[in-house]
Amino acid sequence: MSMGEIVSEVSSHGGGLVEVTGGEPLLQEETPALMDALLKAGFEVLLETNGTRNIGLVDSRCARIVDVKCPCSGMCRENDLQNLRRLTPGDELKFVMGDREGYEFARGILEGLAAPARNTVLLACALAWAQVLGAGDIFIGVNALDYSGYPDCRPAYIEAFERMANLATRATVEGRVSVRIHAPLIRMTKAQIIRKGMELGVDYGMAHSCYDPDGEGRACGRCDS
């Protein structure tokens, strides 16, 4: 069937809500195009995915229901955890927990997502400390290529914060300091960032991405991140 024939067939059954599911719909290359066609036809569209494929391929106007595999499933390492950064307010997460380990895993994932306006908080602290030091240059490692769910990683946000920072303190208003927010990684791909780190001698064995490290700074180990 052509895309138009599918949409026509769906329309013939009435109703305004369509859910695309069935294992992993994104294994079919045509799925994003089908969902776009359904949206254009006026349907409310949902996607239920098993969490192993990039939901960023799907129009964010769709409600994307992402199944995050818990350890008891035996497929935990198949999760595309970058999907957590691609979520929008209309999306949903789904966990099937078969034991306590699954519960702790799910809780760790949800706690890791609870970081609203995080860069605003961090930059505000950095701005205050910079003023104490008499410094004007502030550096932050945000990246704009995969910012879904984190709008404070975009160049427009960095530029707006810099303008605000220069209106925010006595030192900047009096012209004694001019604040500049530097985001050297903002337009780099993940591969470029890793290569640059290697060029600079970064010990990646000391690095982790964790919102809940232990007292010695080690990652909690509750998710694949």
Q: Report d(CA 101, CA 105) in Å as an integer.
A: 6
Whole-number percent of the chain with pLDDT over 70: 92
pLDDT tens-digit series, residues 52-102:
889 988 888 888 999 888 888 888 888 888 888 888 878 888 898 888 888
pLDDT for the residue 17: 92
Contact status, residue 173 vs residue 167, Cβ threshold 8 Å? yes
pTM for this prediction: 0.49
Q: Report d(CA 89, CA 58) in Å as an integer.
A: 15
Query: In the structure, what pLDDT confidence band is assigned to residue 153 with cuts at 50, 70 and 90?
Result: confident
Q: Which residues contact 118 (CB under 8 A, 6 or more apart)?
A: 150, 152
Q: Report d(CA 151, CA 104) in Å as an integer.
A: 28
> Is residue 223 predicted with pLDDT exceeding 90?
no
Contact status, residue 37 vs residue 5, Cβ threshold 8 Å? no
Q: Report d(CA 32, CA 204) in Å as an integer.
A: 36
Compute the Cα dihedral for 202, 205, 211, 213 and give only its sign.
negative
Contact status, residue 126 vs residue 158, Cβ threshold 8 Å? no
Give me the residue label for tokens 């294994």. 27
